[in-house]
Amino acid sequence: MTSLNIIKSINAGLRRSMENDHKVLIMGEDVGKLGGVFRVTDGLQKDFGEDRVIDTPLAESGIIGTAVGLALRGYRPVCEIQFDGFVFPGYDQIVSQVAKMHFRSGGRLRLPIVIRIPYGGGIGAVEHHAESPEAYFVHTPGLKVVSCANPEDAYWMIQQAIESDDPVMFFEPKRRYYEKAEFELDGSPPLPLHTSRVVQQGTDATVVAYGPMVKTCLEAAAAATEDNRSLEVIDLRSLSPLDLDPVYESVRRTGRLVVVHEAQRTLGVGAEVAARVTEECFYSLEAPVVRVTGYDTPYPPARVEDDYLPDLDRVLDGVDRALTY
């Protein structure tokens, strides 16, 4: 067993992918000598060289556009976007080229590109450094979208994303970057990439989350036991495609669902989960699906971000609404 935090887990996963496939490249701003703004790529340029770990100009559109050309030539580029709010200069390349090339070419061309994005709030960052833009990409056909929530998933999911022949948006919960866990580095991935997981079993209500909110929901589940409430917590892991069969199975037993995410509420991932569960589990639901989310405002200044982010109390309030309906 090895104890790693999420940063070192992704680093180890990138290293293993580069060892296994010489076509895997890393590119981004300061990913080489500096090792990335969060040091996720620390030491990789030293060991694999400047031709495989490439420092780029500060131009996200250029990073993604260059990755498109490299992927068409048989490479598997992994692009680092330094912070969530910086992805938008590259948004046109992602939705117009990365997402559509396979369909546009009638299936003849594939773009095995991974775009890593540290996302979400909770670190006291300034404007453009604490956003949750995942729904923009979930809404774009042609892209796969995933988010890890713990070191073991970070290690395996980054390797699975790189092995995918489809473009994958890889969202990393930066507020959880330094949290550690023990797991085996060898062997096989415990789950396929696009699979959700029940991380805690319960009987009274189902709580669904992903990325940074998984830990918050587990803390809420622990607190709920003091009131003799048993919450089942499910980590979606993959946002596109969604694996909702475990959610349906859970809701058919509990009759109640609370969906939690940091991103804005309107037309977010929670809205899609609520709609599908209502369609599939209507006669099992004992209460309307409850969403606990960020607010429909731009992400606020750091001094008030605690008022914006869903916390343990807001999750428990959502559970109360579901259970007392």
Q: Cβ(298)–Cβ(130) under 8 Å?
A: no
Clarify whether residues 236 and 130 are in a common domain. Answer: no
Clarify whether residues 92 and 228 are in a common domain. Answer: no
DSSP per-residue letters across 146-159: EE--SHHHHHHHHH
In a domain, 113, yes or no: yes
Clarify whether residues 162 and 251 are in a common domain. Answer: no
Dist. CA 235–CA 57, nearest whole Å: 36
Clarify whether residues 241 and 319 are in a common domain. Answer: yes
Q: Which tokens hold the place of 32? A: 């080489």
How many structural domains comprise the chain? 2
Clarify whether residues 176 and 230 are in a common domain. Answer: no
Clarify whether residues 176 and 258 are in a common domain. Answer: no
Q: What is the CATH number of the domain that holds 216?
A: 3.40.50.920
In a domain, 191, yes or no: no
Clarify whether residues 316 and 258 are in a common domain. Answer: yes
Clarify whether residues 170 and 229 are in a common domain. Answer: no
The number of angstroms, rounded, from the C-alpha of 189 to the middle of its chain's C-alpha atoms is 17
pLDDT digit string (tens) for 38-93?
999 999 999 999 999 999 999 999 999 999 999 999 999 999 999 999 999 999 99
Whether the pTM exceeds 0.85: the reply is yes
Clarify whether residues 158 and 224 are in a common domain. Answer: no
Clarify whether residues 34 and 176 are in a common domain. Answer: yes
Which residue in the block uniquely carries the two structure tokens 């669904």? 208
The confidence score (pLDDT) of residue 157 equals 98
- The residue annotated as part of the active site, out of 22, 102, 128, 129, is 129
The confidence score (pLDDT) of residue 187 equals 87
Q: What is the residue range of 245's domain?
A: 197-324
Clarify whether residues 156 and 88 are in a common domain. Answer: yes
In a domain, 105, yes or no: yes
The confidence score (pLDDT) of residue 196 equals 98
Q: Which of 183, 214, 235 finishes a domain? A: 183
In a domain, 239, yes or no: yes
Q: Which tokens hold the place of 136? A: 């923009």
The confidence score (pLDDT) of residue 298 equals 96
Dist. CA 217–CA 110, nearest whole Å: 37
Q: What is the CATH number of the domain that holds 146?
A: 3.40.50.970
In a domain, 190, yes or no: no
Query: With a cut of 50, which residues of the chain have pLDDT below it?
Result: none
Question: What are the φ and ψ backbone dihedral angles of 66, each rounded to 5 degrees?
Answer: -65, -40
Clarify whether residues 144 and 235 are in a common domain. Answer: no
194 is catalytic: no
Which residue in the block uniquely carries the two structure tokens 């060289």? 49
The number of angstroms, rounded, from the C-alpha of 59 to the middle of its chain's C-alpha atoms is 23
Closest CA to 123 of 37, 248, 246, 231: 37
- Count CA atoms closer than 13 A to 33's CA, side-chain side: 1
Dist. CA 277–CA 78, nearest whole Å: 34
